[in-house]
């Protein structure tokens, strides 16, 4: 049954892309907010479809920590699920991502309309400069910037190295950082086709003030909070 339910979800995910992506591309003359509202319906649908097909529910705590203004989200990265749900939790947003995603037919074309910060991961300092310059512009335009500091999805019970790019953006721009922890990888594993029923826990942390602080300190505080919450959520202590 898990295989059949996961197959049904995958079918719905693919068919919904065939509907939303062409509609999204028709929004190119509209404002960013209008494009985001239309294209993000794909994420909303698939979060709902995941519940219907696979019994994967979720609970989110800490919404009261989201400030009235915008900022930088540093989120744990275990699954595809968090990339979908964050589009419901935060308003108009952009993501730091690898530029190769923009080359994927339909998906990448619609994604490009949402003006992500698409970097070449092998570009080193140039990629950092791109993140800081474009990220600051997006923040000043009132958009949230979503960053997964581990870079790639990690398996439950493990953690990746927290790259300093998001914290460097915070240091330069002065915008607050919102840390987020969750255990989505327990139910929708990275590179995993089978979805496991249950309830994902996501915790939104208090805003980390960044004005006058160094990126290293901001990054360390965000990492400590996220990994501390991961231990609380899962009952497992990740390796150092």
Q: What pLDDT does 239 receive?
A: 59
Continuous segment of H or E residues that includes residue 136? helix 125-140
Work out the pLDDT band at 80, boundaries 50, 70, 90. very high
Which domains, and CATH codes, for the chain?
2-234 (3.40.1130)
What is the pLDDT of the chain when averaged over all its residues?
95
The reported pTM is: 0.94
- Region 78-82: mean pLDDT is 97
One DSSP character per residue, 48-111 reads HHHHHHH-EEEEEE-GGGS-SS--EEEE--SSSHHHHHHHHHSSSEEEEEEGGGGGSTTHHHHH
Q: Which helix (H) or strand (E) holds 225?
A: helix 215-234
- Mean predicted confidence (pLDDT) in 170-196: 96
Give strand pairing partners of 117.
Answer: 96
112-132 pLDDT, tens digit per residue, is 999 999 998 777 889 999 999
Residue-level pLDDT at 5: 97
Q: Please, which residues bridge with residue 180 across strands?
A: 75, 204
Q: What mean pLDDT do residues 59-70 have? A: 97
């Amino acid at each position: 049954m898990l295989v059949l339910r996961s197959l049904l979800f995958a079918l719905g995910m693919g068919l919904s892309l065939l509907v939303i992506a062409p509609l999204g591309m028709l929004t190119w003359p509209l404002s960013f907010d209008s494009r985001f509202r239309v294209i993000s319906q794909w994420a909303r649908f698939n979060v709902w479809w995941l519940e219907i097909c696979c019994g994967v529910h979720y609970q989110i705590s800490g919404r009261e920590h989201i400030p009235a203004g915008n900022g930088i989200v540093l989120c744990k990265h275990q699954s595809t699920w968090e990339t979908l749900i964050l589009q419901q939790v935060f308003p108009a947003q952009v993501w730091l991502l690898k530029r190769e995603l923009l080359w994927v037919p339909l998906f990448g074309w619609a994604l490009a309309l949402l003006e992500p910060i698409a970097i070449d991961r092998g570009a080193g300092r140039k990629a950092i400069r791109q993140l800081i310059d474009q990220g600051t512009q997006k923040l000043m335009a009132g958009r949230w910037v979503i960053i997964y500091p581990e870079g790639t999805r990690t398996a439950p019970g493990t953690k990746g190295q927290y790259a300093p790019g998001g914290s460097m953006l915070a240091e330069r721009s002065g915008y607050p950082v919102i840390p987020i922890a969750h255990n989505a990888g327990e139910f929708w594993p990275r590179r995993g086709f089978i979805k496991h029923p249950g309830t994902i826990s996501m915790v939104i942390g208090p805003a980390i003030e960044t004005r006058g602080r160094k990126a290293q300190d901001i990054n360390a505080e965000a990492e400590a909070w996220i990994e501390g919450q991961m231990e609380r959520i899962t009952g497992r202590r990740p390796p150092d």
